[in-house]
Structure 1
Amino acid sequence: MVFDGCFLLELLICESKYDSELPIPFNGISPGIEVKQMDYVISDLMLLDNQIPIYILEILFENLLGSSPQMRELIQNLALPVFGFSLKLMVKSTFHFLDIAYSYMEMGWIDKKIEENVKDNKLTMQNQNLNRCATRLKAVGITIQLLDINKNFISTTEFNKSRRILKIPKLVIERTTEALWRSFIAWEHHKKKLKIGSSSVVDRRSICTSSAILFSDLICCTGDVQLLKDKGIIVDKSEKSNRDLVAFFHSIAKGVDRDIIDSNHIAMFNAMNTISSANYATKVFILLHHYFCKVLDWCYNVHTFFKRGYNFAFTIAGFLTLIQTCYAIVAYHFPKKQ
């Protein structure tokens, strides 16, 4: 852990904008500059099982570079540029790098008007699933729009029932998105269950978990993925196919505890589930196209299943065995009269 802590300190200090706040200014060429350009290394630093407590870095910082006032705040601000964040962190204390990144994103949610959790008891008794996918929402007259094109995954989803408009923030899918998203979800579950964290707001909001469930419920086939791509909500830089993205979103939400969804998302889900259709003629046309896409996806999945290994041969053998068993049962219970 000491070796890992020294590596992290080197990574934080090299090319830092806070040299004036360091007890010993750093003026040298460091291999950390090249490491910062490796996306997979930065992604690994965000995994929940790779976290090193901040107090370990504080002890190493003091022994190697000398003491500094507000050392934890300094380490937090040194870490933010490593993960691509620019502003200073307003939270006084965090536990590790994952908590630093999550607290930074959380500042965007704190700036908005956050309702108190008074209605949570009533809302948790309601449906916590969105029963309509993106195409079905379009069929009932709900317009899906991009929310704040300058932000990625910081803004929260908004739904205006009177205007029938659902606004979703842009989600850029890169090679490291899955690992980061899963880490944030795990951290939200941890903070929600154990009631610990750097901010009390997290006890009321679980945006990453709620967003994972939202996208999983919005997408049931490749047509839904293409619809969200056309709206600019999903930007795929990982070069996945639409079918792979369907599996990606479903796997992200698999095993997620829906009891920690925040009250705003539960209310939004119930509003979209109960809204009536605006134009039945348009609804029928859109749904026919939607079911056609689902049939094509099903045929593709069956084709893929039969192409994998000896699945086709095993299926034929199993089918013939079933027929033979049925004939044997019929012959036993209904023998031919001689």
Structure 2
Amino acid sequence: MDREANHKQIILEEWADSMSTMLGCVDVENVETCSIYLVSNQLRKSKAEAYMPQVVSIGPLHQGKRMELQHMEKIKWRCLMHFLSRAKIDPREALMKCGRHLLNLDEVVRASYSVDDLGFNSSNLAKIMVLDGCFLLELLISASPELDNRIQSSLSDSSPGARVIRWEKVLSDLTMLENQIPLVVLHVLSCALFPEVFPRKGSNRLIQELALSILGYNYGTLGSISQEELKVFHFLELVHASIDKEKVKDRMKEDSGIHIENGEDKRVTHRKVKLDRCATRLQAAGVTIEGTNDAQRDHSNIAAMTRFDLRVKFSDGKLEIPQLRITETTEAKWRNFIAWEVNKNMVEKHNGEIAISEAMNDAGIRFHFLCYAWFFQGLICSVHDVRVLLDRGVISVALDKEGKRVKSDKDLVDLFRKMTEGISESDVEETGIDPWIGEVILKLNSYPSTLSATGRSRITWHIFRGNLTSFWYNWRHSFRVLRRDYIPTRWKLIAVLAAAAGLILTALQTAFSVPRRK
């Protein structure tokens, strides 16, 4: 009886701990339970490495799991030293202050992750949060000449933060879905050590502005929306919200068919989110395709050069697409934004928030990056479409150290085809479809085509080549799935071949053993 009672007591305590962890977020501003998600297995199957940090680990989910992330740990510790030396108090006292605040934030931090057990006790989790939080704050301060001068480091050497923010792979890792820490950690740490620079009521806005800056985006371009802080909970969501608000502001300036009130789009969205014609066929139909460059894009800043601009426009037969720069990190960043959109939508659907948003005429989560991927998939059905987009300046491919393109034309076709594997249109709520890209697709699909006999023959040949490319891609994909699921090792391959040979021999034996009629 005592053992049974003890077992029930343990279960009760675990249940109470779980409930108290969730309750820890209820009355805390700028915190949302389970706001940092895990990538679903369905998406991870397509390309698992795209969802893993390549250079730097942030937060507990990838902490200490891979050797290649250990080099940056030394740099993180040096950034921590510089950050603490900026405080007006003794570095050890500053460290104790940070630790005390983060230990008190333990339940809030745990509740922010959609994981039952992070695998760290309170002390080790606080250590991770202090190190990673101070590292990120040091990056933000180092990137701002004004703040770097205002709260100077007392150390003789320069902070490594200024160099780190120029590494493209580091900036990419900061937007990995599973590589996040709650923004409330940065808020608490900054307010604790620098209350005169990061006041409690204004620190969130300042942190968001600085974070967007190092990631290649500009808080100031949001117009009147930029006067208030965005309701976001980590870096990836911050960038997504910035892009969403930027598109809203851009549309508010235009005399379009979309009715916008209070910064939200109230138009009924279109179910159709796939293009009927690729780039070559659109050109043949008389559509002018042109890549555009943002005048505000800083060509000396790698983050600004590789930022996503999703403001596609079509009017008077002219399709304008902001130039998409393809680098080594583009696919990983894009996939993680899509993964966040899918997870966020699933959580809202589970919590009934989508139904509430529809009842209140609220836009809810928009699948900006997913619809953008579908848009490019529609534009590209073969390498010939890739060449059209390259020639028109819609796509720009970075060069490696040897002066070669990081992605070939065939690589680009594969990149766009695989980007949305594991997701179908039926997974997306109609209210979640990007209304701006949806409108462009609707106009392009209804655009009249006037083709000569020569043009029709060229299009027929292009469609044939496109179908051939699709067949080849589907065959290769099916073969990869077969190898991954059924013959991952050479021994299983031998077993499969032996089984196939056995079936063939059995069939032949049966055929020859049947008595023939004379």
The answer for unaligned runs of 5 or more in structure 2 is: 1-128, 253-257, 260-264, 298-306, 355-360, 399-404, 484-488
Between the aligned partners of 1:318 and 1:243, the Cα distance in structure 2 is 35
Show the counterpart of 1:131: 276
Show the counterpart of 1:207: 368
Between the aligned partners of 2:154 and 2:312, the Cα distance in structure 1 is 45
Among 296, 314, 334, the alignment partner of 1:159 is 314
Show the counterpart of 1:111: 249
Between the aligned partners of 1:303 and 1:190, the Cα distance in structure 2 is 28
Residues 109 and 154 in structure 1, CA contact (< 8 A), matched pair in contact too = no
C-alpha displacement of 1:119: 4.4
Among 409, 414, 436, the alignment partner of 1:242 is 409
The verdict on how the C-alpha distance between 1:189 and 1:27 changes in structure 2, with shifts beyond 3 A counting, is farther
TM-score by length of 1: 0.78
Show the counterpart of 1:171: 324
Q: Percent identity?
A: 34
Query: Within 5 A, what are the aligned runs for 1:258-337?
Result: 258=425, 259=428, 260-281=432-453, 282-292=455-465, 295=468, 335-337=515-517
Larger deviation: 213-222 or 25-34?
Answer: 25-34
The verdict on how the C-alpha distance between 1:101 and 1:303 changes in structure 2, with shifts beyond 3 A counting, is closer
Show the counterpart of 1:53: 182
SS of 2:419 mapped into structure 1: helix
**Superposed CA RMSD:** 3.9
Tell whether 2:184 aligns with 1:62.
no
Show the counterpart of 2:213: 81
Residues 145 and 167 in structure 1, CA contact (< 8 A), matched pair in contact too = yes
Residues 14 and 26 in structure 1, CA contact (< 8 A), matched pair in contact too = no
The verdict on how the C-alpha distance between 1:321 and 1:236 changes in structure 2, with shifts beyond 3 A counting, is farther
The amino acid across from 2:416 in the alignment is F
SS of 1:48 mapped into structure 2: coil
Between the aligned partners of 1:187 and 1:133, the Cα distance in structure 2 is 28
C-alpha displacement of 1:44: 0.8
The verdict on how the C-alpha distance between 1:140 and 1:10 changes in structure 2, with shifts beyond 3 A counting, is same
The answer for unaligned runs of 5 or more in structure 1 is: none
Between the aligned partners of 1:221 and 1:243, the Cα distance in structure 2 is 8
SS of 2:250 mapped into structure 1: coil
Show the counterpart of 1:39: 168
Tell whether 2:265 aligns with 1:120.
no
The amino acid across from 1:266 in the alignment is G
Residues 192 and 202 in structure 1, CA contact (< 8 A), matched pair in contact too = no
Show the counterpart of 1:13: 141
SS of 1:111 mapped into structure 2: helix
Residues 341 and 365 in structure 2, CA contact (< 8 A), matched pair in contact too = no
Query: Larger RCO: Structure 1 or Structure 2 (Cα < 8 Å, ≥ 6 residues apart)?
Result: 1
Show the counterpart of 2:21: none
The verdict on how the C-alpha distance between 1:128 and 1:99 changes in structure 2, with shifts beyond 3 A counting, is closer
Tell whether 2:355 aligns with 1:185.
no
Residues 140 and 210 in structure 2, CA contact (< 8 A), matched pair in contact too = yes
Tell whether 2:272 aligns with 1:92.
no
The amino acid across from 2:146 in the alignment is Y
The verdict on how the C-alpha distance between 1:12 and 1:265 changes in structure 2, with shifts beyond 3 A counting, is closer
Larger deviation: 69-78 or 99-108?
Answer: 99-108
